[in-house]
Amino acid sequence: MDVGITTLILFASLVGLLITGLPLAIVLGAIAVFFTYFLWGPFALMAIPANTMGVMQNFILSAIPLFIFMGLMLQKSKVASAMYDTVHKWAGGLRGGLAMGTVVICMFFAAMTGTSGGATVSMGVIALPSMLERKYNKNIVIGAIAAGGALGILIPPSVLMIVYALFANESVGALFAAGVFPGLLMGFVFIAYIAIRCFFQKDIGPALPIEERVSWSEKFKALRGIILPGLLVITVLGVIFFGVATPTEAAAIGALGSIICAAISRSLTWTVFTESCYDTLKLSCMIVWIIIGGSCFAALYTATGAVEFLKDILNTLPVSKYIILAGIQFSFLILGMLMDPGAIIMICTPVFVPLIKSLGFDPVWFGILFIMNMEMGYLTPPFGFNLFYMKAIVPPDVTMNDIYRAIIPFVLLQALCIIIIIIFPDIALWLPRMLIH
Amino acid sequence: MIALIKRLVRGIDSINNWTGKIASFLIPLLIGFETYEVISRYVFGRPTIWITELSAMIFGALILLGGGYTMYQGSMANMDIVYMKFSERGRAIIDSITFLFFVMFIGVLFCKGGYMAWKSLINLEHDSTEWAPPLYYFKMTLPVGAFLLLMQGFAKFLKDIIIVIKGEY
């Protein structure tokens, strides 16, 4: 059969089956089975379990349950509320200080865990009611928490980066390193935006009244709240970046550290422990079963020659490669509105990375742009995870429409950051280059 | 008849519930082993030859055996923008048709994976690394995990059929 027609049928059936609500892992796997059978016959089906076993024996992927466990444990321990207490005492006196501090806590959380859920849920429970009580404008509050939480996938460690690295055949360490400065940039852009708005509009982020502010000795005592998380961040990232251990081993150390954190804050009970194990299993299986289906699909996709076919088409297009890049980013934005970011990475990485390489772009840099775009995916309706989290947490008088309105400026800021990284690729690529030499 | 089917569904649910809960205790094991590896390398000055491989196997077993549990908990990610627009009965009709694709994929994993495990067992296959652990135990987790998923899928299919016929479960 002609490659063009095969490619078309392949993607049409992918979209068709996805719409039926069949789990993504099954959609990808079933398409792989169906096409393998009809293109190469029943004997070729051995490739399906062989691919699956390949995924299962991948040592790098075993970091996924470990990072997820770490995030769940930290979410259940009282680390987040101790950190918020610190922020409250240090930044409460500034206009918009609590919202800015919330973004900082989200950045800490992002540097401790590999997903975006932990920070969003913890801050939603702790920071949101406290800020609303202090008459903060709900748009600033919701936007800061939802956008800050999404930083979890950009600031290393990051589960989605591990998935990208696997399918793009790049080093996990290099991607982690490349995420550091774009992550900091995005965090500080959010903080700057909050600071500027609260400075000019007095009533959207009022400072704490004088009598509620605390003395310097109180402030220094409150610093205790960030000692534990600070140590955990330094340990996990230090271990990875200085090559002391592999990302997987660092994840194990971090997971152990999170148990210790929970024990120190006296929130480690048998129920918390077993619930964390069950939830870790559930979330890990959800992600890794999609990887299983995705790797079967990717093997099929490569074997049909569809990659070469698309590459040829793109290379003959009479436009600048930056227009093509913009087109790809735009398609990610649309996909981000409709699908789960993890799923998009698994489907699109094998499709786009060979194209990106043939256009002469750096795949690590492209990975960072991809992840930043997926952060927007967490915030863009109708399918935005963090929007659902927020809806579940906010008081009943805050409607879904309010939430949509609150995140608009933050989505625009995210887009701005993507453009900055496209123009200045060195912001992402400087650190991995430094660490490798 | 329906009471009998419901008992079967409950039985399958509970098998996967317990398998998943027990399998999830592989996670602390994974944490323990890998931390020990780092300690062994830096404190005792000798890396182990077996932990990296064993961890990958524990991870594999965890994911494969947990598949049924994840499905039982309804946590398999899907795209539900269009799907959720249907009534409960509409969704049950769609699901009982797409069950065919489920069987196609997981069935191949079960049959071909079982064949792979069987070949590994009769050849007493060992890994070609320094530690050289037997591989057949590990390869067995694929057909077992696929079987657990197939059962859970079948239970879901039975539920859907009852919903299609009676309008509720």
Kindly report, residue by residue over B86-102, the tens digit of the pLDDT: 999 999 999 999 999 99
State the smallest CA–CA distance between residue A253 and chain B in angstroms.
6
Interatomic CA distance for residues A309 and A294, integer angstroms: 20
Q: B136-139, long-range: CB within 8 Å, 24+ apart, which pairs?
A: B138/B57, B138/B60, B138/B61, B139/A53, B139/B113
Low-confidence winner among A38-52, A362-376, B92-106 (lowest mean pLDDT): A38-52
3-state secondary structure of B134: strand
Q: What is the mean pLDDT of residues A367-380?
A: 94
Residue B81: its pLDDT value, please? 77
Cα(A108)–Cα(A374) distance, integer angstroms = 20
Q: How far is A271 from A264, CA to CA, in rounded Å?
A: 17
What interface predicted TM-score (ipTM) does this complex get? 0.95
Q: Which of A24, A53, A245 sits opposite B142 (nearest CB)?
A: A53
CA A106 – CA A149 distance, rounded (Å)? 6
Contact A406, A138 (CB under 8 A): yes
Question: Which among A165, A138, A99, A155 is positioned nearest to A401, based on CA atoms?
Answer: A138
Q: What is the reported pLDDT for A181?
A: 97
- What are the pLDDT digits (tens) for B38-85? 999 888 888 888 888 899 999 999 999 999 999 999 988 887 778 888
Q: Which residues of B touch A17 (CB under 8 A)?
A: 98, 101
A297-309 residue pLDDT tens: 888 888 888 878 8
- Report the predicted TM-score, pTM, of the whole model to 2 decimal places: 0.90
CA distance, residue A430 to nearest chain B CA (Å): 29
Give yes or no for a contact between B9 and B160, defined as CB atoms under 8 angstroms apart: no
Report the pLDDT value the prediction gives residue A1, as an integer from 0 to 100: 61
Mean pLDDT of A285-310: 87
Cβ contacts below 8 Å, chain A against chain B, sum to 195
Taking residues B17-34, report their average pLDDT: 96
A300 shares contact with chain B (CB less than 8 Å): no
* pLDDT digits 0-9 by tens, A139-189: 999 999 999 999 999 999 999 999 999 989 999 999 999 999 999 999 999
Per-residue confidence (pLDDT) for residue A387, from 0 to 100: 87
CA distance A54 to A64: 16
Least CA distance to A276: which residue of chain B? B24
Provide the Cα torsion A322, A291, A112, A96; round to 10°: 50
Give the amino acid at A110.
A
Categorize the per-residue pLDDT at A381 as very low, low, confident or very high, splitting at 50, 70 and 90.
confident
Identify the band that residue A136 occupies on the pLDDT scale cut at 50, 70 and 90.
very high
Distance (Å) of CA A14 to CA A31, A301, B168: 7, 12, 30
Residue A410 banded pLDDT, cuts 50, 70, 90: very high
Tokens (6 digits) for A377: 């995916």
**Both tokens of residue A176?**
């982690």
Q: Report the number of secondary-structure helices (H) and strands (E) in chain B.
A: 5, 0
Q: What is the mean pLDDT of chain A?
A: 90
